[in-house]
Structure 1
Amino acid sequence: MIKNVTISGLLTMDMHALNNEGGEGNQLQTRMVHVVDGEGELQVVNAISGDMLKHIQAEHLINISLEKDFSLCDGCKVFDANRINRDGAFFERLKDEKKGDLIIDQLLPHCVIDDLEGVMITRDGRSVSRKSVVEFGWLVGLPEFTRTESYFHVKFDQSREKGSGDESGANLGQNIFYRPASSGKYAIVVNLELSRIGFNDITREYILSSEERIKRTQALLESVLFTFIKPLGAHRNTQNPHILNFEGVISYSHSSVPAPSVSALNEKYREEMEGIIQQLNRSYNGQVDAKRFDNQVEFSKRIMDLIQELM
């Protein structure tokens, strides 16, 4: 069974506003970060946080779980950030139990989202954590291929009444504002610890059956695929991203050897990942492998091939 999967790639996306920091006056500001490029130079680029990407993936996973009738806690059923902490029935069943290993034993079969996405249980004086199975890095723009611009917008009002700052304070009139849009190639790294699905990290034992773990693994892979087919986020009502391409490498391991990852900020990331795998397999005899993809069709095929392999 596949134990670990890593995705390293370049997502080409135009005219999006998926992750903004806030606004100053009538200017909405997008998120910018400092990174070191492949030449060792410090650059300022547009970026989308891993928190945003995981939020998108978790929403897709909840929808998949509802369709497949997986077990969900009360919080995850309504996409509540508190997750299982708002599930009164679960805590009534726990009674006064505070031991972390026993709580995790009951948590894992109770909710697929808390198993895969991780959770911190803090209700009633408890402090029990479940580490996420899926890990997202920042979606980081390549400096030479990514730009952010600000565009003029106005809330049109036929009466030409005053807008921002009018005496009523209701901003009912005509308002001028500036909204950013970013375009470019973005490097992404994703890691999936499939071997930890249904696994109690404290007792080091699997709580779920092999059949249930496979079903959850397939659902997780589907949700990651959907994340790059339909990235949710801010301002999609008028700035739905133009996704042009997705290229990269999927590496995966059938043993305890980690599936290697090299960021696409390095222009030779594909060759380096394949080189690492070649060296690892000198000792691990084909336990690690990698597949390139040059577009979204090939990426979809690679993910669906992994899902089929689990059947």
Structure 2
Amino acid sequence: MINNLTISGLLTLDMHALNNEGGEGNQLQTRMVHIIDGEGELQVVNAISGDMLKHIQAEHLANVSIDKSLALCDGCKKLDANRINRDDAFFDNLDGEKHSAKIIDQLLPYCTVDDLEGIMITRDNRSVSRKSVVEFGWLVGLPNSTRTESYFHVKFDNNRAAGSGDQTGANLGQNIFYRPASSGKYAVVVNLELSRIGFNDITREYVLTDEERVNRAKALLESILFTFIKPLGAHRNTQNPHILGFEGVLSFSNSTVPAPSISALNSNYREEVEGIVGQLNRIYEGKLEAKKFDSQVEFTQFMTDLIQELD
């Protein structure tokens, strides 16, 4: 099974508002970040946080796990953010156990999402952490290819008095507000430590069987694929993103050698990744591979190939 997989790419989205910082008065504020571009210049761009991306992926993973009848705790079945901390039966079965390694041994077979997404157990005077197998960077807009604009909206009150000469929004029962929408090309970085599926980081031993690990790896790859086919998030009821395309490079390793990742903020990122893979293979022959993709179709094909190769 693949030990490590990285995705570096450019996702093109139009007219989205997937991640906002809050509101000030009647103005909804989109999330903006400061970055250094490929030329070494400071820029301010629209971005979607890695927290939002992981929330999207975790929801897809929970749904895939339900569809495939994989083990889930009560919290993850209900998409509760507290996950296994909401599962009374799990804590009853611990029978007062406080030792972190033994708790992780029981956690890993019990819930697919907590195994793959990580969890902090904070119940009954316990503090036990499980590090995530999945790592998302921010989805960062390219400075010269991303724009955010604010659009006027108004909610009308159908019961307001007709013919009123007062045109103030308050008297007419109108709510005037401004909502942002962003469009552009966004740099993506994702890292998957597939070798850690079902692995107790404290005892350094696998708790799951090979078959169980493969089934979870397939579900994880499917959830990653679905994340870029259907990005969930805020304001999708009226600002469902227009997905124009996805291009990038997959790199993966069949050993402890890490699969390289270069941000698409670097215009030569794909050549850089392929070059690093080529150089590492001079030492670790055949252990790493890189695949460039130019569309969502090719990305889906490569991900599907990897899923089928796990059999």
Report TM bin, short chain. Answer: over 0.9
Q: By how many angstroms is 1:96 displaced? A: 1.3
Q: By how many angstroms is 1:163 displaced? A: 8.4
Structure 1 counterpart of 2:18, which letter? L
Q: For each residue in 1:102-141, what CA deviation from the matched residue of structure 2 results, as whole angstroms up to 9, or x when unmatched?
A: 0000000000000000000010111110000000000000
In 1, the alpha carbon distance for the partners of 2:244 and 2:122 equals 42
Q: For each residue in 1:241-279, what CA deviation from the matched residue of structure 2 results, as whole angstroms up to 9, or x when unmatched?
A: 000000000000000000000000000000110110111
Structure 2 counterpart of 1:55, which letter? H
Partner of 1:57: 57
In 2, the alpha carbon distance for the partners of 1:32 and 1:53 equals 16
Q: By how many angstroms is 1:164 displaced? A: 6.7
Partner of 2:234: 234
Partner of 1:78: 78
Residue 124 of structure 2 aligns to a residue in which SS? helix
2:205 is equivalent to residue 202 of structure 1: no
Q: By how many angstroms is 1:156 displaced? A: 2.2
Q: By how many angstroms is 1:159 displaced? A: 4.3
Partner of 1:123: 123
Structure 1 counterpart of 2:149, which letter? E
Q: By how many angstroms is 1:175 displaced? A: 1.1
In 2, the alpha carbon distance for the partners of 1:83 and 1:157 equals 41
Specify whether residues 164 and 66 from structure 1 end up closer, same or farther in structure 2 by C-alpha distance, changes over 3 A only. Answer: farther
Q: TM-score, normalised by structure 2?
A: 0.96
Q: By how many angstroms is 1:157 displaced? A: 2.7
Q: By how many angstroms is 1:158 displaced? A: 3.5
In 2, the alpha carbon distance for the partners of 1:283 and 1:100 equals 38
2:71 is equivalent to residue 100 of structure 1: no
Superposition map of 1:1-311 within 5 A: 1-160=1-160, 173-311=173-311
In 1, the alpha carbon distance for the partners of 2:105 and 2:31 equals 39
Q: For each residue in 1:175-208, what CA deviation from the matched residue of structure 2 results, as whole angstroms up to 9, or x when unmatched?
A: 1110000000000100000000000000000000
Two-structure CA RMSD over aligned residues (Å): 1.3
Partner of 2:164: none
Structure 1 counterpart of 2:142, which letter? L
Specify whether residues 163 and 310 from structure 1 end up closer, same or farther in structure 2 by C-alpha distance, changes over 3 A only. Answer: farther
Residue 176 of structure 1 aligns to a residue in which SS? strand
Structure 2 counterpart of 1:216, which letter? R
Residue 285 of structure 1 aligns to a residue in which SS? coil
Aligned residues: 306
- Structure 1: runs of 5 or more not aligned: 167-171
Partner of 1:169: none
Residue 280 of structure 1 aligns to a residue in which SS? helix
Residue 145 of structure 1 aligns to a residue in which SS? strand
Q: By how many angstroms is 1:149 displaced? A: 0.1
Q: For each residue in 1:6-33, what CA deviation from the matched residue of structure 2 results, as whole angstroms up to 9, or x when unmatched?
A: 0000000000000001111110000000
Residue 144 of structure 2 aligns to a residue in which SS? helix
TM superposition outliers: structure 1 runs of 4+ over 3 Å = 158-166
Q: For each residue in 1:149-183, what CA deviation from the matched residue of structure 2 results, as whole angstroms up to 9, or x when unmatched?
A: 000011123444688756xxxxx921111000000
Q: TM-score, normalised by structure 1?
A: 0.96
Q: By how many angstroms is 1:286 displaced? A: 1.1
Partners of 1:163 and 1:175 within 8 A in 2: no
